[in-house]
């Protein structure tokens, strides 16, 4: 569900230089298949021309990536929408495209 939603949102806002999308694959389980290579495969599969990162946890963080702790995210696909002032206006599991568009506008 995450990549198709992200694809739709990037299409809705294509050409709008005020809206920026990026994706961070947070790996807290499934280390053997949630790899950087798999992330890149999905980026190509969905033709996502946005920055993508891969974050894994360490033994010091009990395998939870720091970005998950900083944004208090849970499972995947987790969505975070940040307004121009830097305020987090959405931070939850899944989001419908229409709701995301209305929050972003």
More confident residue, 56 or 22: 22
* Furthest CA-CA distance within the chain: 41
When pLDDT is averaged across residues 3-28 and rounded to a whole number, the result is 91
Residue 81 CA neighbour count, 13 Å, CB half: 19
Which pLDDT score is estimated for 1? 53
Q: Give the pLDDT confidence of 43-99 residue by residue, as tens digits.
A: 999 999 999 988 887 777 778 888 888 888 877 778 889 999 999 999 898 889 999
Is pLDDT at 35 greater than 70 in this prediction?
yes
Is pLDDT at 21 greater than 70 in this prediction?
yes
- pTM given for the model: 0.79
Given a contact cutoff of 8 angstroms between Cβ atoms, the answer to whether 97 and 5 are in contact is yes
């Amino acid at each position: 569900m995450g990549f198709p939603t992200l694809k739709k949102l990037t299409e809705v806002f294509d050409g709008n230089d005020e809206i920026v999308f990026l994706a961070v694959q947070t790996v807290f389980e499934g280390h053997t298949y949630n790899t950087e290579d798999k992330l890149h495969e999905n980026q190509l599969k969905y033709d996502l021309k946005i920055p993508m990162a891969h974050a894994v946890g360490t033994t010091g963080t009990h395998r939870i990536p720091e970005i998950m702790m900083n944004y208090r995210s849970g499972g995947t696909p987790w969505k975070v929408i940040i307004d121009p002032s830097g305020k987090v206006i959405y931070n939850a599991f899944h989001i419908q495209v229409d709701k995301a568009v209305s929050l972003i506008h």
